[in-house]
Amino acid sequence: MKIKSLLILLGFAFAMFACNSWIDPNLNVDPTSPSDVPLKTVLPTTQVGIAYVLGGDIGRFTGCFTQQFYGWNRQHQGIYNYTFKEDDIDNAWNTMYAGPMMDLYFIINKADELNSPYYKGAAQVLMAFSLGMWTDLMGDIPYNDAFKGTKTLAPKYDTQEQIYNSIFALLDNAINNLKSTTSVLKPGADDFMYGGKVAKWIKAAYTLKARYYLHLKKYDEALAALQNGFTSNDDDMQITFTDKETEANPLYQFDVQRGDVNMGPKLMELMNQFNDPRRPFFAKKDDNGLYSENSPLGPFYASINSPVPFITYVEAKFIESECQFAKGNKNAAYNAYKEGILASMKKVGVADPDAQAYFNQPSVDVGENNLSLENILTQKYIACFFSPEVYTDWRRTGYPVLTPVKGNTIPRRFPYPQSERLYNFQNVKAVAPNFQNPDFIFTEKLWWDKTYWNP
């Protein structure tokens, strides 16, 4: 009996040893949660993820503030009337930080291990864009202390000035990486923006630099960056969606599923005033056969396969026009102003004769000696429909002139999200002591707003 028991014990021990020796340690790895992912898999998810947020909550909310959209129902009726709460922004914030931005952080670090600077450069451009989008809505945000997982569950905030420095550093480093002579791994079809064309990514980096230099009134630096930036609509940094319902444009999805917004009264007022041929591309006629705040969203930005632009050649020309105007270069400012208008017409599909007829109107073709900042920003407001940059432009310059739909003030910033108040309270409080005040979004200006534009 003792011998039998000993044999059983030895057999059990052998079996345990054998299991450790021959069972594949990867047998029980969850395939839906891999510990390592190819860069070609991560890059497109970051691009589409950012596009869903930009072309979703961010585009609609800023569009309500600038009256490019009219929020007539449910959540967007409240936002249009400035009842903008911390939980309204929670979804976009958490989606971006836990999703695309975390993934971009992964690419930036993983690309170094794989000697793949082209992937790193593209990810750095996208990270710079993401930081720019958030800081221009909220001011101080987490960056240098973020993306550390469980090591830092409550990241400290960088000031907006620090964030801008990080944006420029990311873009400069991206340009250097994208100019590398070799890259072991190279984006291709997995790059939904540029198909792996690094020259296009370099142009995008320079054009983004111009956008952020303009915000700081650094006109010479912006113009220098534009020398290496976009040269046509073909360079636009954007995501174009497909005809599949599962891969549909986010504004289209929202309009089909909820339909809380129509075309904005200010945008329709200006487009009607100028007899704008882009109206049937941006809007549909209302029940009275007119273009108004009762007009449904039009096909160019709200179709199933519409693009979500990040930054465009059209915007670049208006940046150039504003910078040249600020420097007193009237002819250069006017030429860029004209090109911005005509490029917008071409982008949406307006016929060349109709585009030229629009520009030839005395209210548009005002002549270089009569060109004003209001002319430039008004035409940019129309041409850059659905871009959050319009909200930044209005806060910087006050153009176009908007009348608040409620009270005396339009919000000058977004609130901090509910999740930050609940889980990162002390760090939010440190940079925004009054963030729980109901007037916070009306009275607390961002750093560039109060430093460079509206002290």
The pLDDT of residue 17 is 38
C-alpha 337/C-alpha 400 separation (Å) is 16
The pLDDT of residue 31 is 54
Angle (CA) 103 202 178, round 5°: 65
In a domain, 6, yes or no: no
Q: Residue 437 belongs to a domain with what CATH number?
A: 1.25.40.390
The total of other beta-carbon atoms located within 10 Å of residue 361's CB is 13
The total of other beta-carbon atoms located within 10 Å of residue 172's CB is 14
Residue-number span of the structural domain to which 345 is assigned: 39-453
- pTM for the predicted model, two decimal places: 0.92
| Residue 429 burial (C-beta neighbours within 10 Å; 0-12, 13-18, 19+) | middle
In a domain, 34, yes or no: no
Please give the tally of structural domains in the chain: 1
Residue (of 311, 450, 331) closest to 383 by Cα position: 311
In a domain, 23, yes or no: no
In a domain, 274, yes or no: yes
CB contact at 8 A, 348 and 298:
no
Query: 115 in helix, strand or coil?
Result: coil
Q: Could you give the count of Cα atoms lying within 13 Å of 284 in the half-sphere of its Cβ?
A: 12
The pLDDT of residue 150 is 84
In a domain, 119, yes or no: yes
The pLDDT of residue 152 is 87
The pLDDT of residue 16 is 39
Give per-residue pLDDT as tens, 320-337.
Answer: 999 999 999 999 999 999
Q: What is the 3-state secondary structure (H, E, C) of 261-279?
A: EEECHHHHHHHHHCCCCCH
CA 181 to chain centre: 30
In a domain, 218, yes or no: yes
Give per-residue pLDDT as tens, 262-277.
Answer: 999 999 999 999 999 9
Q: Is the dihedral of CA 214, 219, 225, 227 positive or negative?
A: positive
Query: 53 in helix, strand or coil?
Result: helix
In a domain, 367, yes or no: yes
Which ranges of the chain have pLDDT less than 50?
A: 1-23, 25, 27
In a domain, 20, yes or no: no
Q: Could you give the count of Cα atoms lying within 13 Å of 45 in the half-sphere of its Cβ?
A: 17
